[in-house]
Amino acid sequence: MTSASPDIPNCGGLPAAVSAFADAFVDFAVSGIFFPTNPPPPLPATPAATFLPAPSRLVAIGDLHGDLPKSLAALRLAGLLPPANSPDSSPTSTSWSAGPTLAVQLGDILDRGGDELRLLYFLRRLSISAAAQGGALLPILGNHEVMNVCGDFRFVTQPGLQEFSSWAGWYRAGLAIKRRCGDLEPPKNPFLGVPKSYPGIRREFWDGIRSRVAALRPDGPIARRFLADLPTVLVVGDSVFVHGGLLEANVEYGLERMNAEVSDWIRGERGDNARAPEYVCGRDAVVWLRRFSEGFNCDCDRLQGVLGMIPGAKRMVMGHTIQSEGITAVCGAQAVRVDVGLSKGCGNGLPEVLEISGGQSQLRVITTDPAEAWMYRKQKPEKAAAALEKNGDVKDGLALLVRESHALKGVEAKA
């Protein structure tokens, strides 16, 4: 090891401890959560498994969109967290209370709210607690995660920008701590190459946008840590989980192949400015498709054909398209739609979750107790944007803060 400069402390021969302290310092400053450090949770080198055996109890939770309080309500409704009035419950509790339950969250953690980072941290910490108790919490990727990795911030809110600005300040502090340790390899600076100005956008939002690009671009620290290992498609027992939907060409291409390629893209292994794989972009993409999630006149024959291409698959569980009346199922429950527009920034719907049990044969919707529903109904929802998103028009989110919304569609950073 080369000797450190006399002006730079050598960390007392404990560079790993200094690095771990800096990371824990940033984690707690950003999220209020400490992660286990003995041993530290490994960073996944590959995406999660695509095919998993059926658990004794399976739960599905729809889109969360940056609303931590409503997300906690859904997690409690599913029994994944202790009840709100339990002695074990607290606003920051990450104690898994569902034993061997496997829970799938259908993506769209990002956008339309101001708790995006706190949600990512919370879900990851809860997943660690679940694994320690024989359970699992497995989010998958939604179109809004893909959009943000692409630098498409049309549905970002002002609080969302502020949250990422705050993250950037703490992250830079962590970098400064590591740079003071001469025994450490110089840490990578994710802000290098990211534009500092964004013509057409009010100057007061430039730092938030720059911070968001640095965090979420391919190989960005938030993208790599929280998104790169999430599957795009997950098959658990006889249930296929996908944010938008699958068509025949997707299954023929290969579900495991898609998961691996999207993971490589987010991890930056295809290049810092590589384009997203085409099957996660466009109207018929697996994270955008609405063919099986709109209304009750579903193309059941085609859905049955797609499911027939996946050995043992009996149903497709989807998010993405808001079900204003709560979780719905069509085609003999072969298409189950679980996005209830939960977030206050996207409908403020009553929390509901889907439970699959009885050897995968029993489907049950767990809904908010009517005695508690008034708490949500009295909250004024933000303007729902689901209908606008369908045709590419944007009237809310960060698009209100710019003269032309295309200025937010795909911010590039130099490698």
User: Which residues belong to the active site?
Assistant: 144
In this structure, what is the dihedral angle of CA atoms 389, 226, 52, 365, given to the nearest 10 degrees? Answer: -50
Q: What's the farthest any 2 CA atoms get from each other in the chain?
A: 73
- Which residues have C-beta within 8 Å of that of residue 357, sequence separation ≥ 6? 56, 57, 58, 364
Q: How far apart are CA 351 and CA 171, in angstroms?
A: 33
Q: How far apart are CA 237 and CA 359, in angstroms?
A: 9
Does residue 303 contact residue 335 with C-beta atoms inside 8 Å?
yes
Q: How far apart are CA 274 and CA 238, in angstroms?
A: 34
Q: DSSP letters of 314-376?
A: -EEEE-SS--TTSSEEETTTTEEE-----SGGGT-PPPEEEEEETTTTEEEEEE--HHHHHHH
Q: How many Å separate Cα 226 from the centre of its chain?
A: 8
